[in-house]
């Protein structure tokens, strides 16, 4: 009747179905946004391992792997907490809810940009460029767009 039972996967599938059905409720973002964070985390991890072992010829370091997992878990816990705190004030005090929404947006954006920065750094290393190569290009472009004075303009 249930093919997953034949392969011993029923409990796993029930857990995953329940978790994925409640991602928005728990973390405040859509299922595909969660998938995007997971993809970013996996790309950061694999590109970092590749850059470290294959390009820099460094041995695998479990400490870096632990730091990677710790960062992801902390980000998800922070987003979960801010989502729940914001929901607590929904309809009670819009100012407090707005503060939690703003902090949520800041942490969410910071997390996404941290993953992108790390991926770009790893990509630069795999291309034989300095670690900050692509990040520096983006920084210069954004400084020009925002009209931020640079050291060269003084």
Q: Which residue has the higher pLDDT, 18 or 71?
A: 71
Give the number of C-alpha atoms closer than 13 A to the C-alpha of residue 57, restricted to the C-beta side. 1
- In the block, which residue shows the tokens 């947006």? 105
Helix, strand, coil abundance in the chain, percent, nearest 5: 80, 0, 20
Q: With 0.75 as the threshold, say if the pTM is over it.
A: no
Distance CA 82, CA 108 (A): 10
- In the block, which residue shows the tokens 């970092």? 48
- In the block, which residue shows the tokens 């300095």? 130
Distance CA 2, CA 14 (A): 12
* 8 A C-beta contact, residue 86 and residue 61: no
H/E run at residue 33: helix 31-50
Where in the chain are the domains? Answer: 19-131
Whole-angstrom Cα Rg for the chain: 20
Q: What is the pLDDT of residues 104-137, one digit of tens each?
A: 999 999 999 999 999 999 999 999 999 899 999 9
Q: What is the pLDDT of residues 130-152, one digit of tens each?
A: 989 999 998 888 888 877 776 65
- In the block, which residue shows the tokens 């390009």? 55
Distance CA 130, CA 10 (A): 48
């Amino acid at each position: 009747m249930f093919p997953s039972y034949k392969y011993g996967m029923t409990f796993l599938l029930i857990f995953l179905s329940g978790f994925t059905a409640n991602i928005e409720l728990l973390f405040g973002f859509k299922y595909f946004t969660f998938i995007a964070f997971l993809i970013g985390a996996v790309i950061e991890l694999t590109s970092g391992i590749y850059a470290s072992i294959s390009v820099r010829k460094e041995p695998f370091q479990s400490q870096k792997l632990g730091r990677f997992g710790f960062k992801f878990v902390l980000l998800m816990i922070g987003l979960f907490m801010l989502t729940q705190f914001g929901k607590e004030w929904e309809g009670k005090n819009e100012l407090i809810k707005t503060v939690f929404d703003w902090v949520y947006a800041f942490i969410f954006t910071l997390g996404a940009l941290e993953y992108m920065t790390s991926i770009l750094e790893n990509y630069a290393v795999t291309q034989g460029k300095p670690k900050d190569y692509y990040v520096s290009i983006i920084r210069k472009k954004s400084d020009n767009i925002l009209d931020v004075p640079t050291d060269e303009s003084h």
